């Protein structure tokens, strides 16, 4: 039984390590200054903001030609200008509204580093399977942890840990 659990633990560890590695690497990439878009934060010049948030949402709806499912509206500085960024859900394209002039445009495509970060870190590559895939990998990671705990308990409390500690004690006492 222990050998089967050991094999399961090894395979789960290898399977779970791939998305964890991508997640960790994308997080490292995000920590490097100016590598990922949005990695640099500028102070918003409040005197330049002329468009209200309600107007920005209406302008975004106007560009789309329909009422969008806006889930977030963020005021940010982009290339030295204040913009509202209207986001319409997980992984969807966003719309930029110039907070000074009211000009509306679709957010330009991100660079390669930003695309990798979003795909690896938030599982955007999975599309509608995003939540399901995250739940599956979470369950596999839990199973890997549980099998690891089991194997450690068997090792330390099942006699092997005692045998090694007994050998160490007998060597230390000189017997």
Q: What is the mean pLDDT of residues 145-171?
A: 72
pLDDT confidence bin for 172, thresholds 50/70/90: very low
Distances (CA, A) of 121 to 40, 72, 86, 92, 159: 18, 19, 21, 15, 42
Q: Rounded mean pLDDT of the chain?
A: 82
pLDDT of residue 87: 84
| pLDDT for 47 | 92
Does 101 or 71 have the greater pLDDT score?
Answer: 101
- CA–CA separation, 159 and 146 (whole Å): 20
When pLDDT is averaged across residues 72-85 and rounded to a whole number, the result is: 89
**Phi and psi dihedrals of 45, rounded to 5?**
-85, 100
Quick: pLDDT tens for 15-61: 989 888 888 888 787 777 677 766 567 888 889 999 999 999 999 88
**Residue 91 confidence (pLDDT) above 60:** no
pLDDT at 83: 93
Tell me what pLDDT residue 121 has: 79
- Using pLDDT thresholds of 50, 70 and 90, give the confidence band for residue 10: very high
Domain ranges of the chain: 1-37+111-163, 41-109
Q: How far apart are CA 147 and CA 9, in angstroms?
A: 6
Query: Looking at domain 41-109, does it have CATH number 3.10.450.40?
Result: yes
Mean pLDDT on 117-128: 81
CA distances from 166 to 105, 155, 161, 173 (A): 73, 14, 8, 11
Q: What is the pLDDT of residue 160?
A: 60
CA angle 123, 125, 126 (to 5 degrees): 75
Whether the model pTM is above 0.85: no
């Amino acid at each position: 039984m222990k050998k089967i659990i050991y094999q399961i633990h090894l395979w789960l560890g290898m399977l779970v390590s791939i998305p964890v590695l991508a997640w960790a690497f994308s997080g490292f990439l995000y920590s490097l200054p100016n590598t990922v878009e949005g990695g640099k934060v500028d102070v918003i010049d409040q005197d330049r903001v002329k468009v209200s948030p309600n107007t920005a949402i209406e302008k975004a709806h106007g560009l789309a030609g329909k009422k969008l499912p806006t889930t977030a509206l963020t005021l940010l500085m982009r290339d030295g200008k204040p913009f509202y960024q209207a986001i319409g859900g997980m992984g969807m394209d966003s719309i930029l509204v110039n907070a000074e002039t009211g000009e509306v445009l679709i957010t330009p495509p991100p660079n390669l580093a930003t695309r990798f970060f979003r795909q690896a870190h938030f599982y955007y590559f999975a599309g509608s399977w995003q939540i399901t895939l995250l739940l599956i990998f979470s369950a596999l990671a839990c199973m890997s942890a549980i099998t690891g705990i089991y194997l450690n308990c068997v090792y330390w409390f099942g006699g092997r840990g005692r045998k090694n500690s007994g050998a160490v004690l007998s060597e230390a006492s000189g017997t």
